[in-house]
Structure 1
Amino acid sequence: MAFFIDIIKGIFMGVANVIPGVSGGTMAVSLGIYDKFISSITGFFKDWKKSCKVLLPIVIGIGIGVIGFTYLIEYLLSQHTFVTCMTFVGLILGGLPMLYNDMRKKMVEKNKKLGIGNLIAFLLMFALVVGLPLLGVGSETSNVLEGTPLNMIILFFVGLIAAATMVIPGVSGSLVLMILGYYYGIINTIKNFLDSLKVLDINSLISGILVLAPFGIGILIGIGIIAKLIEYLFSKHSVMTYSAIFGLVLASPIAIFYNTGLYKHLGEVTFLRLIVGIILCVVGAGVTYYLGQKEV
């Protein structure tokens, strides 16, 4: 049962990573699997069997979420922006009680109290997430990226940067891709690869692999590097790290509303959409809270 619950949690993480402004790391925190996800990555070579047992269902879920939602993302954000955003706001905020309880436990364990340093860490991370979308979106690349040698090198480093941000709670990897100008190129390349797989178009599949392979390798290396850093921070500066994560998580709804352009059209939201959005927000929070309590 725990295996399938972790797959569901992984699906939420995968979906979150596809939506610009939504953080897969935040979703992992809200779902209560962040610590074990990070520790399984950093401890992979020490006990690969244990790490695989933890990572397998999560990775399967992430794959399902990314692939499945790749086809829906443009439609949902263009036709149902408000209710989609509200659902993810609920999913994110539903994990706050558990995050708070975890921080309180660490405070008791380390005999620490919240001070000015914790407030500064909170405000800095809050400002980071709110300010990141203000950097603007880079000019997009072609609809489907080509697997040229130069593109392969660039995509490796793009994957490296995006992966690092995907793991950090509150920071959206897809938003970073958008700022770098590669979001739609990657999304469309994934869709083109899946379409080619259906009809076994070998040439298109090879072209897709030449693009997605270096990007994927960059993601794996980036996750490994940042996971080591986060593990160190939790080990040596746990309460300060929790304070920073609170800032990242609480700022996420603002980033979501800004990056989707929803803030410009809030006055146009109909009463029905408002009610549906609020209901889905509450349901999303309940789902996250329930799944978080199922963490074992």
Structure 2
Amino acid sequence: MGIADAIPGVSGGTIAFISGIYEELVGSIRRITPAALLLLFQQGPKAFWQHINGTFLVVLLSGVLISLASAARLAIYLLEQYPTLLWAFFFGLIVSSALWMAGKVNLWNLRLMLCLWFGSLFSYLVTVVSPVEIQISNWVVFLAGSVAICAMILPGISGSFILLLLGLYAPIMGAIKALDLQILLLFLAGCATGLLSFSHLLGWMFKHHHDLTLALLIGIMLGSLNKIWPWKYTTDYRINSHGDLVPLMQDNVLPSDYLALTGQEPYLWAALALMLLGGGAVYMLERYGSRSN
């Protein structure tokens, strides 16, 4: 989840879903309430820890943080040096995830199909929004954390991509690498606030409208494929706050047109192999998650 959350366009929530821990994650976060704190004072730390599923949350959060501080650097390097191949892997992973999730819906009907379409449209529109530049302040970092964490636990919507749209991806990733505690603590406080609020909504949706929620999440994942298509041609650039030239507008193109438009090797067969590898990773994660459950 940490590696996925570090890459704009890929959601850690997708990894949680296909590994079989998503609903447990949302349910565990929902239990962190004032009532849980009251339990801490009345019955002691052990009862509180068991109530919030503390071991599960600590182990998961430790993995995410360790990954962000270590393996995510490799993912960012690959994104800069071999974007086509990295996007191809995640493209296969998300397509396979969406198909796997569709099999979890009990019975498809018109209402579920409309929910799927709405989720796809919403996610697609998010991917075509142009990035903006926002002046960094304490409140901006806090609010960015609140919004990004909600995206991070939604399969298909990347918290990193939301940060990219807000113009805060580079500052936040830079703060992680440099261990800038002021920015990191503000960002984490925003994440905690957003996560505790949003988890209650997700938990209620799964409890009362399980199949509708699944259809919506599948749609969100499918709409995000517009962002993850491996072969892109940049049509416009912008200069960021550091004076660097970065892509502003990109069109998805066919592999056969990619070489002619960009002058770069499309790595077609390698990309197709990595798509299959991504799909295989979903199958392995699903089998491992089912066996663990």
Same fold by TM-score greater than 0.5? yes
String of CA shifts for 1:104-163, please: whole Å, max 9, x gaps: 2xxxxxxxx43322122111110111111221111266xxx7xxxxx2222111111111
Q: Offset of 1:180 from its aligned partner?
A: 0.9
Could you tell me which residue of structure 2 aligns to residue 68 of structure 1?
A: 70
Q: Which of 174, 188, 192 is equivalent to 1:216?
A: 188
Q: Which of 225, 247, 252 is equivalent to 1:263?
A: 252
Could you tell me which residue of structure 1 aligns to residue 280 of structure 2?
A: 286
The 1-side partners of 2:96 and 2:70 are apart by 23
The 2-side partners of 1:139 and 1:73 are apart by 24
The 2-side partners of 1:97 and 1:130 are apart by 18
Normalising by structure 2, report the TM-score: 0.78
Q: Offset of 1:35 from its aligned partner?
A: 1.0
Q: In the alignment, does 2:277 pair up with 1:277? A: no
Could you tell me which residue of structure 1 aligns to residue 210 of structure 2?
A: 238
Question: Is the CA contact (8 Å cut-off) linking 1:19 and 1:73 kept in structure 2?
Answer: yes
Question: Aligned AA for 2:55?
Answer: K
The 1-side partners of 2:285 and 2:109 are apart by 31
Question: Aligned AA for 1:220?
Answer: A
Q: Which of 58, 61, 66 is equivalent to 1:59?
A: 61
Q: Offset of 1:88 from its aligned partner?
A: 1.2
Q: Which runs of 5+ in 1 are unaligned?
A: 1-12, 105-112, 146-150, 194-207
String of CA shifts for 1:189-246, please: whole Å, max 9, x gaps: 21122xxxxxxxxxxxxxx111110100111111111111011001111111111111
Could you tell me which residue of structure 1 aligns to residue 90 of structure 2?
A: 88
- Number of equivalent positions: 253
Q: Offset of 1:97 from its aligned partner?
A: 4.8
Q: Which runs of 5+ in 2 are unaligned?
A: 37-47, 235-246
Q: Which has the higher helix share?
A: 1
Structure 1 pair 33–63 and aligned structure 2 pair: CA distance change class (3 A): same
String of CA shifts for 1:91-114, please: whole Å, max 9, x gaps: 22333454233222xxxxxxxx43
Structure 1 pair 93–175 and aligned structure 2 pair: CA distance change class (3 A): same
- Please give the secondary structure, in 2, of the residue aligned with 1:72: helix
- Tell me the percent identity: 25
Question: Aligned AA for 1:58?
Answer: L
Could you tell me which residue of structure 1 aligns to residue 30 of structure 2?
A: 42
- Please give the secondary structure, in 1, of the residue aligned with 2:53: helix
Question: Aligned AA for 2:58?
Answer: L
